[in-house]
Structure 1
Amino acid sequence: MSVARRSLATFTAAVLAAVLPATAASATQEQDVGLLRLTVTQPDGTAARGAVDLTATDDSHAEYLQLDESGQLSVEVPATDYKIRITPAYYDPDMPDEGLRQWVPGKTSYAQAEAFRVTAGGTTDVAERLLPPSPITVRARDAITGAPITEVCAYADGRGANCGDPEITIHGLVPGPQTIRVYTEDGNYLATDATVNVVEGETAVAVVDLTPAAHVETTVVDAATGAPVAGACAVVAPAGTGELPAVGPLACSDATGRLRLGEVEAGSWNLFVRPTGDSPYGAQWVGATGGTGDPAQARTITLATGQAVTVPPIRLDRAGIVTGTVTSAATGAPVTSGEVSLAHASGLSYLRWGAYLDDQGGYRIDWLGPYRWPLLFTTGDHALQWSGGVATRGQAKPVTVRAGRSTVYSPALKPGTLVTGGLTDSAGRPVSAVLTFHNAATGEVVGSVWDYDGRYEARVLGRQTITVGWEWGSFVSYAGWYDGVADAAAAKRVTVPSSGTLTVDIGLRPFPAG
Structure 2
Amino acid sequence: MRQHALRRPLLPAALTVTIAALTLVPISPALAATGTSTITGHLTDAAGHPAAGAFVWAQTNDMSSTGSATTDADGAYTIPNMAAADYRMSFRPDGGGFAQWAHQKTSYGWADPITVGAGATVVVDEQLLPTGFITGNLLNRDGTPATGSVTANSSPENFYIDSRSLQLDGTYRFELPVGAYKLQFGVQNAFSQWNGGALTFETAAPIQLAAGQTVELHDTVLPTGSIGGRLTNADGSPAAGASVSVRTQDYSLYSYGTTDADGRYRIDNLLLAEYIVGFSGPNSVTQYAHGKLDPDAAQKFAVTDGRVTAVDEQFLPTGTVRFVAHDATSGAPISGFCAWYFGTSSFGNCADGTELVLNDVFIGQYNFDVNIDDRQHFNIPNAAVTVTAGQTTTYDAAMRRGASITARMVKRDGGAATDGCVQAARVGDVFSWSEYGFCSDWQPDPVTGSVVIGPLEPGAYSVIAKPRDTALGLQWLGNGGGTGDRDTAAQFTVAVGDNLQLPKVRFDKAGTIQGKVTDAATGAPLPYACVWVVALSSTFGGSGDCPVSAGADGTYTISGVGPYAWPVESAYGRYQWRWSGNAVDRHDAEKVTVKAGKTAKANLKMRTGGGTVTGIVRDANGHQADVLVTAFSSVTGEPVQFIGGRYTPEGQPAGTYTIANIAPQNVKLRWVTNDGRSGWIGGADFAHAQPVQIRNNKTTTVNITVS
State TM-score, norm by structure 1. 0.70
Gaps of 5+ in 1: 5-9, 15-36, 79-83, 91-96, 119-124
Contact 1:228–1:255 at 8 Å: present in 2 too? no
What do the CA deviations read for 1:103-123 (whole angstroms, capped 9, x no partner)?
67756568xx979899xxxxx
Which aligned pairs between 1:235-246 and structure 2 lie closer than 5 A? Answer: 235-240=423-428, 242-245=431-434, 246=436
Alignment partner of 1:258 out of 432, 447, 450: 450
Matched, 1:177 2:378: no
Change in CA separation of 1:266 and 1:130 when aligned onto 2, cut-off 3 Å: farther
**Alignment partner of 2:599 out of 386, 406, 424:** 406
Q: Give the structure with higher Rg (CA).
A: 2
Paired position in structure 2 for 1:81: none
Q: Does 1:50 align with 2:235?
A: no
Question: In the alignment, is the contact (CA less than 8 A) between 1:479 and 1:486 conserved in 2?
Answer: yes
Matched-pair contact (CA < 8 Å) for 1:151–1:184: yes
Alignment of 1:312-323 (within 5 A): 312-323=503-514
CA deviations on 1:54-111 (whole Å, 9 max, x unpaired) are 76xxxx9999787997679999989xxxxx9864235xxxxxx88413467756568x
Match of 1:32 in 2: none
Q: CA deviation at 1:388?
A: 1.1
Distance 1:477 1:153 in 2: 19
Asked whether the equivalents of residues 462 and 491 of structure 2 are also in contact (C-alpha less than 8 Å), the reply is: yes
Residues 85, 101 of structure 1: 8 Å contact kept: no
Distance 1:425 1:188 in 2: 36
The reply to whether residue 198 of structure 1 matches residue 390 of structure 2 is no
How far residue 336 of structure 1 moved from its aligned partner, in angstroms, is 0.3
Query: Tell me, what secondary structure is at the counterpart of 1:394?
Result: helix
SS of 2:487's equivalent in the other structure is helix
CA deviation map 1:367-424 (0-9, x unaligned): 1111111111011032111111121111111111111111111122223336488869
The equivalent residue for 1:247 is 437
Contact 1:40 1:72 in 2 (8 A): no
Unaligned residue ranges in structure 2 (runs of 5+): 1-154, 157-199, 205-227, 302-309
- Hey, what's the Cα distance between the residues in 1 that align with 2:229 and 2:248? 11
Tell me if structure 1 keeps the 8 A contact 2:670–2:678.
Answer: no
Q: Residue in 1 aligned with 2:406?
A: 217
Structure 1 window deviating more from structure 2 (98-107 vs 428-437): it is 428-437
* Matches of 1:155 and 1:210, distance apart in 2: 15
Corresponding pairs, count: 451
The alpha carbon displacement at 1:220 in A equals: 1.8
Pairing 1:101–2:286 present: yes
Question: Counterpart amino acid of 1:231?
Answer: D
Aligned-residue CA RMSD (Å): 4.9
| CA–CA distance in structure 1, aligned partners of residues 399 and 420 of structure 2 | 29
1:200 partner letter: A
Per the alignment, residue 327 of structure 1 pairs with: 518
Q: Which amino acid aligns with 2:591?
A: P
The answer to whether 1:446 aligns with 2:645 is no
Measured at CA, do residues 99 and 480 of structure 1 come closer, stay the same or move farther in structure 2, by a change above 3 Å? farther
SS of 2:706's equivalent in the other structure is coil
Q: Residue 149 of structure 1 aligns with which residue?
A: 334
Q: How does 1:419-498 map to 2 (within 5 A)?
A: 419=612, 436-439=630-633, 444-448=638-642, 449=644, 450=648, 452=651, 454=653, 458-462=660-664, 464-466=665-667, 493-497=692-696
Report what 2:551 is aligned to: 358
Q: In the alignment, is the contact (CA less than 8 A) between 1:471 and 1:477 conserved in 2?
A: yes
Change over 3 Å in CA distance of 1:333–1:298 after alignment to 2: same
**2:370 is paired with a residue of what secondary structure?**
strand
Report deviation, 1:40: 6.8
Report the CA distance between 1:177 and its aligned residue: 2.5
- Return the TM-score normalized by structure 2: 0.53
Counterpart-to-counterpart distance in 2, 1:404 and 1:486: 46
Residue 478 of structure 2 is matched in structure 1 by 287
1:415 equivalent in structure 2: 608
Checking the alignment, whether the CA contact within 8 Å between 2:509 and 2:563 is kept in structure 1 is: yes
Q: Deviations over 1:121-154 (max 9, x none)?
A: xxxx998642245442322111111122244444
After superposition, the Cα gap between the structure-2 partners of 1:269 and 1:456, relative to the gap in structure 1 and judged at 3 Å, is closer
Query: Residue type matched to 2:600 in 1?
Result: T
The 1:75/1:396 distance shift into structure 2, 3 A limit, reads same
- The residue number in structure 2 matching 1:338 is 529
Aligned twin of 1:502: 698
Cα distance change of structure 1 residues 154 and 424 upon mapping to structure 2, 3 Å threshold = closer
